[in-house]
Structures are given as C-alpha cells and as structure tokens.
C-alpha cells in the first residue's frame, strides 16, 4: 500500500507570512500532483511534477519534487486570505492516484 | 470548455436504501475516477473507468459499484446504505488516466445517510 503523509495537518498564520507544507512517502511515484480544495467543492489541480528535483513556480507558490520522487513540498510566500483551503498532494503510479490526508491552511487578515 | 459536472449536489437517504450518483466528464476525457471523502479517512479511491471498462479498483465492499457509458459519462451506485457511507463523493476525469494522470474534479455529491 502506498501511503502519503502530509504535514502539518493544520496551519493557521497571519497574512503576509511564509509557509511550507510537506508531502512524504516511502514509495516512488511517477508523478505527483498538488490540489487545493475549498469547502463544499472538489479539489482544483495546482501543479504536476514529474522529474526528481523539479521545481515549479505558480505566482507565490513554489512546488518541489524530491530527488528520489518520494516526497514533495509546497512553499507559499506572503500568504493571503485567498490561499485559505485544504491542500492535498497525490502520488500517481500506473494511472492510480494515492492522496495524502491534506493540510488545512487558514490565513488570517 | 465545461468542467466536470456531478448530479445531484446533495442527497439524503435512509439506511438500507440505494443511491445512484452521476458524473459527466470534461469533453474528450475518457477516464473517470470516483473518490469518497470523509473527515476521518480523507480522499479514498473507489474505482476508475476507461472506455466503459473498470480499470482500477480501491478497497471498498461490493455494495459500491459503477459503470461508464459510451459517451464517457459515469454513474456510481451504492446499495444497502449504511450510516458510514455519509460522505462527499467526488468524480474526477482525465484524458487517459495514464502518464501524468492530471485529474479534474467535479464539485461532488454530498450524501447524508440517516
């Protein structure tokens, strides 16, 4: 069974602060996705990383895939209230995705 | 391009009943996956359909079943409902379900079992 552990589980910060969310596994994945989910809605895809060591930037969000393709991190710079939500990572192999339990982020104005 | 749509958005049933949920994928997407999301268990994979065939299956009892039609639309059925089946059921579509497997989710169906 492939498991993905996300940390921290909950994070509450003030607007303007920086934060990092982690996604770790003992399994190797062919790709890894990050999603953001708001209450009552489905997850929205933010990014896909494929190559070990890959770094992708999406405005204030920076995503990194570990060299061994077992872990990933999401760094948010100068967080805003609009960043509030549940952040999910998903590792994919052979078309099957395993999701972490998510990090619930609250950004206070 | 329209996103993934799911109907109904909300559903209330009683124990022992059965329910059918519907999902229309993004046009051109042939893979449809179903997930159950609960506060305690997170997002759990139910099954994936591709070209009307179940290609992957999660660890759920046989009460959970699905099918896919020739237009890629998919339905999920849960029979003999239990209280623990209360959850947000999410459908996700992707072009082929392989390779990058980028999935696009619908808004979900919130099922409450009383």
Q: B12-31, pLDDT tens digit by residue?
A: 999 999 999 999 999 999 99
Which residue among B90, B104, B108 sits closest to A45, beta carbon to beta carbon?
B104
For residues A101-108, average pLDDT:
96
Residues in chain B within 8 Å Cβ distance of A102? 42-43
A1 has pLDDT over 70 = no
Which residue among A33, A95, A102 sits closest to B42, beta carbon to beta carbon?
A102
Q: A22-78, pLDDT tens digit by residue?
A: 999 999 998 999 999 998 899 999 999 999 999 999 999 999 999 999 999 999 999
Determine, for residues B45 and A97 on separate chains, whether the beta-carbon distance falls below 8 Å. yes
For residues B92-96, average pLDDT:
87
Q: Please spell the DSSP secondary structure of B22-68, one letter per residue.
A: EEEPPTT--EEEEEEEETTTEEEEEEEEETTEEEEE-S--TTEEEEE
Q: Is A49 helix (H, G, I), strand (E, B) or coil?
A: strand
d(Cα A54, Cα A47) in Å, to the nearest integer? 12
Model confidence band, residue B92 (pLDDT cutoffs 50, 70, 90): very high
B96/chain A closest Cα distance in angstroms:
8
pLDDT at A92: 86
d(Cα A39, Cα B36) in Å, to the nearest integer? 15
Model confidence band, residue A93 (pLDDT cutoffs 50, 70, 90): confident
Which residue among B31, B45, B103 sits closest to A45, beta carbon to beta carbon?
B103
pLDDT at B15: 97
d(Cα B98, Cα B76) in Å, to the nearest integer? 21
As a dihedral over the C-alpha atoms of residue B3, residue B5, residue B9, residue B13, rounded to 10 degrees, the angle is -150
d(Cα B26, Cα A9) in Å, to the nearest integer? 32
B95 has pLDDT over 90 = no
Which residues on neighbouring strands pair with residue B13, listed in sequence order? Answer: B113
Determine, for residues B48 and A96 on separate chains, whether the beta-carbon distance falls below 8 Å. yes
């Amino acid at each position: 069974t492939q498991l993905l552990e996300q940390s921290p589980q909950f994070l509450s910060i003030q607007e303007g602060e920086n934060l990092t969310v982690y996604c770790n596994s003992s399994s190797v994945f062919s790709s890894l996705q990050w999603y953001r989910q708001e209450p009552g809605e489905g997850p929205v895809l933010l990014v896909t990383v494929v190559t070990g060591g890959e770094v992708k930037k999406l405005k204030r969000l920076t995503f990194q895939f570990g060299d061994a393709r077992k872990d990933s991190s999401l760094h948010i710079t100068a967080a805003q209230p609009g960043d509030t939500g549940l952040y999910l990572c998903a590792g994919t192999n052979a078309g099957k995705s395993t999701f972490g339990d998510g990090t619930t982020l609250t950004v206070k104005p | 391009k329209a996103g993934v749509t799911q109907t109904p958005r909300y559903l209330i049933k009683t124990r022992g009943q059965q329910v059918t949920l519907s999902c229309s994928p993004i046009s051109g997407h042939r893979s449809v996956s179903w997930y159950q999301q609960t506060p305690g268990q997170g997002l759990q994979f139910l099954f994936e359909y591709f070209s009307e065939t179940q290609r992957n299956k999660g660890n759920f009892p046989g009460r959970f079943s699905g099918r896919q039609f020739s237009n890629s639309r998919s339905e999920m059925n849960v029979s003999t409902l239990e209280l623990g089946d209360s959850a947000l059921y999410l459908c996700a579509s992707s072009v082929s379900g392989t390779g990058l497997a980028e999935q696009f989710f619908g808004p979900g169906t919130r099922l409450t079992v009383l």
